[in-house]
Structure 1
Amino acid sequence: MKTAFHMIKPWDIIITIFLLILSLVPLSIFSFQQSKINAQMEDTEYVAVISVDGDELKRVKLTGHTGTEFLNIPEIKCTPKTVEIKDESIRIKSSTCPEQICVNTGYISKPGPSIICLPHRVVISVETIGGNIDDEVIISS
């Protein structure tokens, strides 16, 4: 064991510490960027946009929504009260389409993912209103 310590030189320790500190630089940069994004998102409101055949039918404000609400939209040819808004998220609760992909998508609450039902031509997406979020920023959840 003593022979191993004799092989370590002072510059080995200095270089090791320098490389250790250098490896933490990306973490600090990404943390700083994420804090800026979070600060911008505080003033942002989220709105769900429900479209059928490319025509916008309804806009529902998600920010600040509490409780559970079911929307009955006659243009959507699924089961009655198919769209569910729970707290600050939205989903298609049930559908008559064969594969149920829109139902299995689950809740969405932020821009990015969309709920799409191809047989009924329904698209539900979330948009932002207000705030200073750039279109180029990708937000992961």
Structure 2
Amino acid sequence: MKNALQMIKRWDIIITVLLLVISFIPVSIFSYQQAKVEATTENPEYVAVISSRNEEVKRVTLTGHKGTERLNIPEIECNPNTVELHNEEIRIESSTCPEQICVNTGYISKPGPAIVCLPHQVVITIETVGGGEDVDPLIISS
């Protein structure tokens, strides 16, 4: 053990600490950006946009919605009553597609995630309306 400690030099420790500090820079930048986005969108109104085959079918205001409601949307082939609103969240409750990815996505309530049903070409996204300017989403690549 004593030989291993003698192999470590002062610059080895300095470089290791420096690399450790540098590794936290992306986390701090991302946190700063998220805080800035949240500060610019005070009291936003969220609207769910339901699209089928690249055409907007329906817009539903999520902000302030109370209770549970099933939407009747005949343009959606999977089932007309599959879209469910629960309080300020939306989801696809059931579908006839084989893998059920859209159903397993669950509820969404804020911009960012989307519900996509590829076999029936249905997309549900959430947009921000009012309460500040729309902020371009951050592109994160790895």
TM-score, scaled to structure 1: 0.71
Task: Answer yes or no: is the 8 Å Cα contact 1:48–1:62 preserved in 2.
Answer: yes
Question: Who wins on radius of gyration, i.e. which is larger?
Answer: 1
Deviations for 1:68-125, whole angstroms, at most 9, x for unmatched residues? 1100111111234100011111100000111101000111111111111111111111
- 1:75 paired residue number: 75
- Which stretch shifts more, 27-36 or 98-107? 27-36
- 1:127 paired residue number: 127
- 1:90 paired residue number: 90
Return the offset for 1:44.
1.5
- 1:43 paired residue number: 43
Using a 3 Å threshold, how does the CA distance of structure 1 residues 55 and 80 change in structure 2: closer, same or farther? closer
Using a 3 Å threshold, how does the CA distance of structure 1 residues 117 and 37 change in structure 2: closer, same or farther? same
Deviations for 1:12-36, whole angstroms, at most 9, x for unmatched residues? xxxxxxx9xxx7xx79887665544
SS at 2:113 equivalent: coil
Give, as a single letter, the amino acid of the residue that structure 1 aligns with 2:109.
Answer: S
- What CA distance in whole angstroms lies between the structure 2 residues aligned with 1:51 and 1:67? 23
- Which stretch shifts more, 126-135 or 62-71? 126-135
Using a 3 Å threshold, how does the CA distance of structure 1 residues 81 and 136 change in structure 2: closer, same or farther? closer
Task: Answer yes or no: is the 8 Å Cα contact 2:37–2:135 preserved in 1.
Answer: no
Task: Answer yes or no: is the 8 Å Cα contact 2:91–2:106 preserved in 1.
Answer: yes
- What CA distance in whole angstroms lies between the structure 2 residues aligned with 1:102 and 1:52? 13
- What CA distance in whole angstroms lies between the structure 1 residues aligned with 2:52 and 2:30? 39
Extract unaligned runs of 5+ from structure 1: 1-18
- 2:13 paired residue number: none
Extract unaligned runs of 5+ from structure 2: 1-16
SS at 1:39 equivalent: helix
Task: Answer yes or no: is the 8 Å Cα contact 1:37–1:133 preserved in 2.
Answer: no
